[in-house]
Chains A and B, each alone.
Chain A
Amino acid sequence: MLTSPPTLHVRRPSPTTAEFTVSTRPPLTLPLRLALLLVFLLRLALGASVLFLLYTKWLQSPYSTPYQLPAVPPPFFSEDNIFYLLYLLTQSPLGLSAARLTASTPTWALLAPSLLALYLCILRIHTTESLLVLRGLGIQTASTGDTFLGGDRTRFIPTEKICDVLINEAFKGFGAPAGAEGGGIGVEGS
């Protein structure tokens, strides 16, 4: 529901410039927006809870220093307040049950699934690839990265360097499905 089969979208503001975008993102309608927001919130919650689990595990290790409870609560917008709130969270029923859970699991058993969960949190849902053809300048390709951390992978090929453009079609079953065409661009001296 969140993704759609790859669809082609063409922008051509003038005859000499065209951008072809293939994306797995369906058009943004209100239900889709709500769903994406929900997924985002879920991921945020998952990421935060994994980090919190790791924090409780850290508190149990001999390297951490126990938190000294201040006499008066620190001001709201301060660095101390973050630790104060964290302390309150660890003392809540939720925090105590998390501490029980982490105390009973060895570090490696906790670390591997948490890293996996964190990776899932930063994984992109949609893939978008685009090809921008500019007459007189060259060809610009761009594709989104796998995770939110990595930026777009881009490559600009000046017209001068292009030997030939080769378009390759893939077959699936008895037809050529949309989006299965691959293009190859011969580049001089690379």
Chain B
Amino acid sequence: MPENDGLMRVFWPTDIPRSDLRGVVVGWRNSALDVFVVAVLEEVEPRNVEYALKIGTLFRNAPNPVNRIYELCGQSSMHVLGVSNVSESVEVDSSWVRVTTAGLKTPLVTCARASSIQVVLFERPYPTRMQYISLNPIALALGDKHRESAMQFMNGQEEEEERQERLRKEKKQKLVEKIKQHSIIKRVPPAKEKALAKIVNQINWAWELEQLLQKNVSRIGTRPKRSLSVSERVVESATTARDWVVFWAWEMFILYILPVIKKAFVIFMMVHRLFAEMFLLILEWRLRPGYAALKDISATAQQVEIRLQQFCYWPMQYVTLRQRKNDWESVTTSHPDYIRFYNSLWLVANDVIIGMAFGSYIIDNADRVAEQISLLLTRFTVDALQRSISWLMGWPAGLKLNNELAVFLGDLFLWVIDYWSSCIETLRPALPQIILFVGFSAFAGASMPIALCSDLLSLLTVHIYSFYLASARIFHWQLNILISLFHLFRGKKHNVLRNRIDSCDYDLDQLLVGTILFTLLFFLLPTVLVFYLNFAVARMVIISLKAVFDTLLSCLNHFPLFALMLRVKDPKRLPGGIRFELRDTQEHRPATASFSASTQPTPTTSVIYLKPIPLSFRAMFHQYFQMASRIRKHYLSPRVLLCLLTGQFVPPINRKNLYSLQYSMLPARRAGIMEMWEAVHSLPPPRRRQAPVYIPALANGNGKRLNGYGGRSRGFG
């Protein structure tokens, strides 16, 4: 299809000032009939505007390099696109558009070359408020690339669920490749179709560019402007005398006091960073590669590690954000970083606030809390177990178990419980101190006592864990023996080499002894089974308790609080994509007819509205859904049930599921100490404020006045 199919596309901002005056439409020309309107400059000659664009008068006094605009908007220069509110009699270039805005809701666009026109209306996002639009939803988590490398970095092997996920993704990719091979016509997309990414950038730049152009409009052509008279100047300097004093004081502060404060802060931070590095090395130390590190075992260690990692990451994030201030406001690449940075800051602050309330409660009531906890401990981890074992020893629920074996097993476990309870008794006097310690740890954030509780829970129920292991082992052995004896009973055996069941000729005595043993073991099985079930249930309860603690921790560490607040306050700051809406064009058809009744027929026009859609709540909590589905897949799978039934060890909740959430907030590799030092020192010096009064040169006709606010209108945070 030729480049020119008569379809013209005009992107028009709805919120540019609209008037009846004649004007020049300025903007980007993405391809011959694909134009993007940035501004309408009023009461100027098109010829002069073109000249001014060529020599760059319109970009005079730009706060930042102008080349950056061209680079990001994907065009080498701006063009005059047409004229507005000009009568039909005036001759214009055939590729120019004629726009009528006077008295119309949507602008009426005509062009000599176009046979049909799409007018795409959009509302400009305000870059000063950090609004922007994007084709893809904003990523609240760091990219997938980081995370995958983090996974490999942690340990080589991957989990079953992750492997399946990866396989599914690969399969889908293959399918897409296959679909591509099936397309019959290889069609080269015209420039108009490829321009969308560029256009999104141009929309993001539209507001700032229009401001710049409108500021410089007065420089075009010769427009006499009266300079200030002497009396006016006197008034101005009198009113700005106060500003001068403030300016001088500010200068003094910047020059002498600020560097000292800054230096002290940087040194303090570096010392802190050194200690953090030391702790992190301890937490990450592994006896041998592939072994568990301290942070993999203990929730507290992991919590400390998360906080330290965050601390290491903050300066780097802050430096990135500061560099944003030295660029145009419309550069949107660091906005997700901004949200991530303040989200983590806010979460930590929240954590500390909640922790203080929690901690002060615990400290005030340490004795009572300790009493309660020791009561709970004896009741649930000692008494309840003892009672359930004694129950199992004496024909539970009418089941007729083997008395001798039940008494033997029960006594065995009861001895260990007795020993354990005496251990707990020796621990009891120290309990208030431990509770106090937990209480004071809460001042480092509410997540700390929760992590400590989780660790204490696993420490204080270590006997249940070992009972579970022992009984599961016994049960598993017995089950295995029973299965092989059952094969013997049928005259078969398991061929290990081929991994199948072969028939086998046993001797009579072998068969006899095997059958007798099979019967014996089979009658003993229920007794072992009930003991195993008892401990398995206790173990499952503890695992689910720990899962609750872990969920609480992940909520405190990764809740998208800042993003939620932004979603309520200003949804345009969290773009989730774009949508197009078709508007009815009926309403301004009559106007069309009256406007150009005599001349050429107006092309058919469709009015389309481009709207940003905010990020959906579902997408915000995507990480949580992912985690929940992973945990569900891990624990509610048939594999786990099979493990439980056959007495194999059920792998506990693996911390990697939480890690995937954690690494979505932190980079895979933390920046080194020297890197941080360099980053902190690479910060640009603070922008000097301009003197409040511009002392004009002698009046010479077109004297220009600066508005004295060179760099002050920025800095939104």
Interface residues of A (CB under 8 A from B): 11, 13-17, 19, 132, 134-138, 140, 142, 154, 156, 158-160, 163-164, 186, 188-189
Contact = CB atoms under 8 A, between A and B. Distances in A.
B604 A15 contact: yes
B580 A136 contact: no
8 contacts: A13-B607, A135-B7, A136-B7, A136-B190, A156-B579, A156-B580, A158-B135, A163-B180
B117 A160 contact: no
Interface in B109-141: 116-118, 120, 135
Interface stretch (B146-154, B191-199, B695-703): B191-199
Nearest to A153: B616
Contacts, number: 82
Interface in B212-259: none
Interface string B181-210: 011000001101110100000000000000
A15 B5 CA distance: 12
B582 interface: yes
Given A159-B193, A160-B193, A140 B580 contact: yes
Contacts of B118: 14, 16-17, 134-137
A154 B611 CA distance: 11
A158 B189 CA distance: 11
A134 B604 contact: no
Contact of B606 (A14, A158, A164, A186): A14
B573 interface: no
A159 B194 CA distance: 8
Contacts of A132: 580-582
Given A134-B118, A160-B189, A164-B179, A140 B606 contact: no
B192 A14 contact: no
Chain A contact surface mostly:
strand
A136 B193 contact: yes
B617 to A, nearest CB: 10
User: Most chain-B Cβ atoms within 10 A of its Cβ — which of A19, A136, A142, A188?
Assistant: A136
Nearest to B576: A154
Contacts of A136: 7, 9, 34, 118, 190, 192-193
Contacts of B604: 13-15
Contacts of B584: 11, 13
Interface residues of B, number: 34
A163 B183 contact: yes
Contact of A16 (B116, B182, B579): B116
A13 B606 contact: yes
A132 B583 CA distance: 11
Contacts of A160: 189, 193-194, 196
Given A14-B605, A132-B582, 19 more contacts: A13-B582, A13-B605, A13-B606, A17-B582, A19-B582, A134-B608, A135-B7, A136-B190, A136-B192, A137-B9, A137-B118, A140-B580, A154-B579, A158-B193, A159-B193, A160-B196, A163-B180, A163-B183, A189-B176
B349 to A, nearest CB: 31
B533 interface: no
A85 to B, nearest CB: 29
Interface string B573-614: 000011111101100000000000000000111111000010
Contact of B585 (A13, A134, A142, A186): A13
B196 A137 contact: yes
A164 B176 CA distance: 11
A113 B179 CA distance: 49
B540 to A, nearest CB: 26
A142 B578 CA distance: 12
Nearest to A136: B192
Contacts of A17: 118, 582, 606, 608
Nearest to B199: A137
Nearest to B614: A151
Nearest to A138: B196
A142 B577 CA distance: 13
Contacts of A189: 176
A17 to B, nearest CB: 4
A132 to B, nearest CB: 6
Contacts of B608: 17, 134
Contacts of A19: 582
A11 B189 contact: no
